[in-house]
Structure 1
Amino acid sequence: MEKDLLTIGMAQISPVWLNKKATIQKIEKTIKDAKLKKVELLVFGETFLPGYPYWVSITDGAQFDHPVQKEVHAHYARNAIVIEEGDLNSICELSRKYQIAIYLGIIERPTDRGGHSLYASLVYIDRTGVIQSVHRKLQPTYEERLTWAPGDGNGLRVHALKSFRVGGLNCWENWMPLPRAALYGQGENLHIAVWPGSDYNTKDITRFIARESRSFVVSVSSFMKKEAIPQTIPHADYIREKAPELLSNGGSCIAGPDGEWVVPPVINSEGLLVETIDFGRVYEERQNFDPVGHYSRPDITKLHINRDRQCTVSFEGE
């Protein structure tokens, strides 16, 4: 059945690092390229727009009140995405025009949290160009906590896409059993895992989640060399001096519902990777194991999810 087949594009590319406007233009070009390859679901890496905060770990980011860290962070904040102000409108319009669903990792600066703190968010845009969920990373990892705020459960949602139900998590969230279970329980059978880049992250967890969930798992990472650090950002020479030659080597891949590779991790190359998957494989592997169906015991163990969008202030009256 044609409805059972889904063509996925994995955008293993480099952002125009920390440049919102130029990176959006690169995303728009990638969407157009994906259309030519008949892609139906296009996925970008974690915080692709406008980029991952590599500088934190290589420039002693934990120094308190340090001018380098403050100035680079301020530049990062100025280039973050404010969805409420229409920053993603052109991307949504191309999604609608070409009928391509999109998972896009962004740095979000949301007005409902005051408009100053930054969140690593995963945005799902459906094939009609409508933003259906914005998942703010629940727990930034290690040095990421110096620049990102922790999110909430509002974006733990799955979405219908042809025969599939697709959901996604950011980077090390994929190691968290309960958020995974939250998506499984909503019928997820195509799991999207986005990463800043590295087969170190994707080569084991991708197959593990696929085997645990009996779902397809698509891991998408960015690719970035030191030479892609632009001169226009604050302290560019200092960051480039401290950076390794390769900041992200890629590692994008797809595992099938049996946990075996459909596309093994692709490293050391930049480009749009395209593969078609068949929903029928999900039913085959659910025959002997289904973590929230016939192989579950909700009478004994059950998960409670708080999907309220967290906010510091609430108002009553005028």
Structure 2
Amino acid sequence: MNHRIRAAIVQEAPLPLAIDEGIERAVGLTKAAIETGANVIAFGECFLGGYPAWLQHLPGPSLWDHPGTRELHKLLLDKAIRGADPRLEQLQWVVDLAGVAVAIGGIERVRSSLYNTQFLLRPKQPILLHRKLVPAAPERMVFGAGDGSTLEIHQASWGRVGQLVSDEHWMPLARAAMHHAGEDVHVSAWTSVRDIDLLAACHYAYEGSAFVLAAGSVLTRDQLMHGFARAGGEHFRAARELLDRLPAGALHTGGSAIIAPDGVVVAQADDSAQILTASLDLSETDHGLAAMDIDGRHARPDVFELRVDRRQRSGIVDIDADAEDESRAA
């Protein structure tokens, strides 16, 4: 069995807010990554829809009644990915044809709430979703919290692929749940991979004895404004006034990296748009187990126990009258 595969991180600029055009852009970039021979391809956090940079770079928009924030939230609700979204079919077709796995961040709508979601597209299989469990402080103005039903991995012909989003890599129990799944390749999605984020990704690789694709994006204010215009932003005056206040220049600064199971960076990008690639020998994932096996001999199940609730939580449970009567009778 050949244990070697090729991995690619697409470190590019999204089209914020303009999800239709953003998906078209992702299709072209995925094709370019496939041409490098990649078996697994990773994009950064919220690539489809764009990360809400106005909450990250400006203090005022974090107020719930800020008019610009309200308009941008409405725009995201209108454009967000929903359920079996037909707009993703073209990207799925590329994945099916090439036989690759593609992990891409996006803004998803479930009922009336938005989620920071990773979409793992797999050949001729349903898309595997992961909704970020705990949005960061400013993100809570936009995103809901995911549940355990999306803590799953993909079994590819060559190995197992999982994914988490940004600050989830500092959640010990989330890491433990993913390590228990036995990932060979882990997609670690970020807006920009800063020094502290790279530390988290390297720690994850060593702790879980897996290859890690720490995927970031590049983005300037001008590119964000371009996406806003493509999404029909002329109808949202307060949103335009808010975005005009963002700092000029770079908002996301790349820094993507591919990390081996021993925690060593084998390839790293700068702050420019590029496709970062590396050849991975998946047999290396077993080498680190001699020193560290946190899901095996280092687990101490007699002392520690982790229970993962993988049920989907909607917050509403409907019980009809007959079922309620039967429950009371029992």
TM-score by length of 2: 0.89
- Give the superposition deviation at 1:314: 3.3
User: What do the CA deviations read for 1:11-43 (whole angstroms, capped 9, x no partner)?
Assistant: 101111110111000011012112211111111
Tell me how far apart the structure 1 counterparts of residues 250 and 195 of structure 2 sit (CA, whole Å). 13
User: Match of 2:81?
Assistant: 81
Alpha carbon RMSD of aligned pairs, Å? 1.8
Q: Greater CA radius of gyration, 1 or 2?
A: 2
| Structure 2 gaps, min length 5 | 322-330
Check the 8 A contact 2:11/2:276 in 1, yes or no: yes
Check the 8 A contact 2:166/2:197 in 1, yes or no: no
Check the 8 A contact 1:164/1:189 in 2, yes or no: yes
- Give the superposition deviation at 1:216: 1.2
Tell me how far apart the structure 2 counterparts of residues 192 and 313 of structure 1 sit (CA, whole Å). 32
User: Match of 1:207?
Assistant: 202
User: Match of 1:62?
Assistant: 62
Query: How many pairs does the alignment contain?
Result: 311
User: Match of 2:251?
Assistant: 247
Tell me how far apart the structure 1 counterparts of residues 22 and 85 of structure 2 sit (CA, whole Å). 17
| Structure 1 gaps, min length 5 | none
User: What do the CA deviations read for 1:191-219 (whole angstroms, capped 9, x no partner)?
Assistant: 21100113234321121111212221110
**The 10-residue stretch of structure 1 (91-100 or 200-209) with the greater mean CA deviation from structure 2:** 200-209
**The 10-residue stretch of structure 1 (196-205 or 49-58) with the greater mean CA deviation from structure 2:** 196-205
Check the 8 A contact 1:218/1:255 in 2, yes or no: yes
Q: What aligned pairs does 1:37-52 form with structure 2 within 5 A after superposition?
A: 37-52=36-51
Check the 8 A contact 2:161/2:183 in 1, yes or no: yes
Tell me how far apart the structure 2 counterparts of residues 251 and 85 of structure 1 sit (CA, whole Å). 31
Tell me how far apart the structure 2 counterparts of residues 55 and 148 of structure 1 sit (CA, whole Å). 14
Check the 8 A contact 1:58/1:239 in 2, yes or no: no
User: What do the CA deviations read for 1:88-138 (whole angstroms, capped 9, x no partner)?
Assistant: 22211111011111111111102xxxx21100011212123531x211110
Instruction: State the identity %.
Output: 27
Tell me how far apart the structure 2 counterparts of residues 300 and 285 of structure 1 sit (CA, whole Å). 24
Q: Does 2:303 correspond to 1:308? A: no
Q: What aligned pairs does 1:217-232 form with structure 2 within 5 A after superposition?
A: 217-229=212-224, 230=226, 232=229
User: Match of 1:120?
Assistant: 116
- Paired residue secondary structure (1:162): coil
Q: Does 2:289 correspond to 1:290? A: no
Q: Does 2:159 correspond to 1:159? A: no
Tell me how far apart the structure 2 counterparts of residues 299 and 77 of structure 1 sit (CA, whole Å). 47
Check the 8 A contact 2:55/2:61 in 1, yes or no: yes
- Paired residue secondary structure (2:160): strand
User: Match of 1:28?
Assistant: 27
More helix by share: 2
TM-score by length of 1: 0.92
